[in-house]
């Protein structure tokens, strides 16, 4: 009987140092990226194929925002690199290996797409361009990372600054700002720049020159992988080195008030100090989810404990009566001991954002608004706020978890100032008044 000769497939390519670090990662969630041209896609493909070859029968999922992008960026390159080894079934959207391992091919352009994966199980999940997915969509895929076999359970993400998922990727992998139910040891970030990819630098030196000619913010994000600036950022004026201050620099004297944005999903309450010149200091914050109206009132009262807050400005919808109780949210919250006198906010969005922008813009080297480092949620949320795709003068509603604290800050500045503005413009001669202006409460 004639014995079949074993077929050997030679796979070319040598990983750079960052790619080697990515291949060696054993954490549950590994994010790889930062800048354009760092070799992320090649590394992600090799990682998945390597795992499939090492663990017979392993079940992987490779996801991108659209299936067309997935085919162009991964399926076709995989079939070229591993010709004859991997079988592609278009109807099943699946790549299969001779040892029974498989890579299922998925897409996620909406929450409805994400819900299609709910309840499914995968040993390894790879999300390409993870910043294009919301945190809710990411959470659905996290729940799918499970199984009973003796194989690793890991998730790999590639990412660039910007996009709807910028805030949660930055929080978890760059800032490492974890919530109570998140284990820090489960998350690893491997930064990658185009300068880390000698293959690309040699093959296409013009690519770097193209990145170097981009507008400054795009260049910072795409060439240098900076996560604090990106295209689509609603408040490019915000700079941590300018607007963040030590709690010790907040004036001890001065008037104080509270600004709050309340919803069942989140209460964001900010304690604001106003100095003698009318400058604002965000002194402290409390941001908590799932509070009833009475609990929210008690939380605000706790924020003001030992401090005389002269008023609390809140969204005017709290003054609407509720069908279940016949009482307004204002009545419920105001009845809590220690709650400052409440006033409805001027909640016009575009004028409010414009006034807040003026507060952030430095004049003579100093801004009119500074934020204590004791306010991490506001500090994280302001630079993560995106422009609305429908009305660029307004902030986007997604990612929703970064909107609450900026909304409260918008109520704060709208409660403070005398200004000449309309829906169309802010007076170019506008100057922020000192605290003795008649239209200011104090």
Q: Is the confidence at residue 182, as pLDDT, over 90?
A: yes
Pairing between strand 154-159 and 29-34?
parallel
* pLDDT tens profile 243-265: 999 999 999 999 999 999 998 88
Dist CA 407 CA 239 (whole Å): 19
Dist CA 132 CA 207 (whole Å): 23
Label residue 323 by pLDDT band (50, 70, 90). low
Per-residue tokens: 190: 């491997």
Assess whether the region 17-222 and the region 240-416 belong to the same CATH fold. no
Tokens 């005398």 label which residue? 418
Q: Which of 2-6, 194-198, 298-302 has the highest mean pLDDT?
A: 298-302
Dist CA 405 CA 376 (whole Å): 10
- Provide the pLDDT for residue 426: 41
Dist CA 229 CA 209 (whole Å): 20
Evaluate the omega torsion of the peptide bond into residue 412 and state whether it is cis, within 30 degrees of 0.
no
- Provide the pLDDT for residue 35: 78
- Provide the pLDDT for residue 208: 78
Helices in 265-319 by DSSP H: which ranges? 293-303
Per-residue tokens: 227: 């996560």
Nearest to 260 by CA among 405, 139, 372, 129: 405
Beta bridge partners of 189: 31
Of the chain, the percentage scoring pLDDT greater than 90 comes to 56
Q: For residues 63 and 126, is the Cβ–Cβ distance under 8 A?
A: yes
Least confident of 113-117, 256-260, 425-429: 425-429
Label residue 116 by pLDDT band (50, 70, 90). very high
The mean per-residue pLDDT over the stretch 167-181 comes to 90
The mean per-residue pLDDT over the stretch 410-434 comes to 56
Q: Where are the chain's structural domains?
A: 17-222, 240-416
The mean per-residue pLDDT over the stretch 204-230 comes to 78
Domain 17-222 CATH class label: alpha beta
Q: Domain 240-416 belongs to what topology?
A: Nucleotidyltransferase; domain 5 (3.30.420)
What are the residues whose beta carbons fall under 8 Å from the beta carbon of 144, sequence distance 6 or more?
A: 61, 117, 118, 119, 120, 121, 122, 125
Q: Is the confidence at residue 20, as pLDDT, over 50?
A: yes
Of the chain, the percentage scoring pLDDT greater than 70 comes to 90
- Provide the pLDDT for residue 10: 63
* pLDDT tens profile 357-402: 999 988 777 899 999 999 999 998 998 888 887 887 899 888 888 8
- Provide the pLDDT for residue 101: 95
* pLDDT tens profile 25-52: 999 999 998 877 778 899 999 999 999 9
Tokens 């001890």 label which residue? 252
Q: Is the confidence at residue 206, as pLDDT, over 90?
A: no
Q: What is the CA radius of gyration of the chain?
A: 26
Nearest to 81 by CA among 27, 42, 111, 34: 42
Tokens 């941590």 label which residue? 240
Label residue 5 by pLDDT band (50, 70, 90). low
Q: Is the confidence at residue 179, as pLDDT, over 70?
A: yes
Q: For the packed helices 404-416 and 349-360, what is the interaxial angle rounded to 10 degrees?
A: 80
- Provide the pLDDT for residue 435: 41
Least confident of 77-81, 188-192, 204-208: 204-208
Q: Is the confidence at residue 438, as pLDDT, over 50?
A: no
- Provide the pLDDT for residue 84: 80
* Average pLDDT of every residue of the chain: 86
Dist CA 28 CA 125 (whole Å): 10
Q: Is the confidence at residue 79, as pLDDT, over 50?
A: yes
- Provide the pLDDT for residue 7: 58
Least confident of 171-185, 217-231, 344-358: 217-231
Q: Which of 106-110, 176-180, 339-343, 376-380 has the highest mean pLDDT?
A: 339-343
Dist CA 70 CA 62 (whole Å): 8
SS3 17: helix
- Provide the pLDDT for residue 231: 67
* DSSP annotation of 270: E
């Amino acid at each position: 009987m004639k014995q079949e000769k074993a077929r050997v497939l030679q796979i070319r390519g040598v990983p750079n140092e960052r790619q080697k670090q990515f291949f060696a990662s054993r954490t549950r969630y590994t994010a790889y990226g930062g800048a354009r041209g760092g070799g992320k896609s090649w590394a992600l493909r090799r990682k998945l194929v390597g795992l499939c070859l090492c663990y017979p029968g392993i079940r992987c999922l490779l996801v991108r925002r659209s299936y067309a992008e997935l085919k162009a960026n991964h399926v076709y390159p995989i079939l070229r690199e591993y010709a004859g080894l991997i079988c592609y079934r278009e109807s099943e959207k699946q790549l299969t290996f001779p040892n029974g391992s498989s890579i299922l091919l998925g897409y996620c352009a909406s929450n409805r797409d994400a819900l299609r994966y709910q309840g499914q199980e995968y040993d390894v999940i790879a999300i390409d361009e993870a910043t294009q997915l919301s945190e809710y969509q990411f959470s659905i895929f996290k729940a799918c990372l499970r199984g009973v076999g003796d194989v690793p359970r890991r998730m790999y993400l590639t990412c660039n600054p910007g996009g709807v998922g910028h805030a949660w990727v930055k929080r978890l992998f760059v800032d490492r700002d974890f919530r109570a139910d998140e284990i820090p040891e489960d998350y690893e970030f491997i930064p990658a720049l185009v300068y880390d990819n000698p293959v690309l630098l040699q093959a296409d030196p013009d690519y770097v020159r193209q990145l170097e000619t981009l507008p400054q913010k795009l260049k910072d994000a795409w060439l240098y992988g900076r996560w604090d600036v990106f295209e689509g950022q609603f408040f490019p004026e915000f700079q941590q080195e300018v607007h963040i201050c030590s709690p010790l620099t907040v004036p001890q004297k001065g008037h104080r008030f509270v600004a709050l944005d309340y919803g069942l999903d989140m209460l964001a309450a900010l304690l604001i100090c106003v100095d003698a010149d009318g400058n604002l200091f965000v002194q402290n914050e409390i941001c908590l989810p799932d509070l009833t109206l009475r609990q929210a009132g008690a939380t605000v009262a706790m924020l003001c404990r030992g401090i005389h807050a002269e008023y609390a400005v809140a969204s005017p919808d709290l003054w609407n009566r509720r069908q279940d109780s016949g009482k307004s949210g204002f009545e419920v919250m105001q009845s809590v001991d220690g709650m400052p006198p409440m006033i409805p906010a001027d909640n016009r969005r575009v004028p409010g954002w414009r006034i807040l922008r003026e507060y952030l813009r430095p004049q003579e080297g100093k801004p009119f608004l500074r934020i204590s480092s004791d306010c991490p949620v506001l500090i994280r949320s302001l630079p993560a706020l995106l422009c609305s795709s429908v009305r660029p003068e307004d902030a986007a509603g997604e990612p929703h978890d970064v909107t609450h604290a900026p909304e409260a800050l918008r109520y704060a500045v709208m409660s403070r100032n005398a200004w000449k503005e309309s829906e169309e413009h802010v007076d170019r001669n506008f100057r922020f008044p000192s605290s003795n202006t008649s239209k200011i409460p104090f």
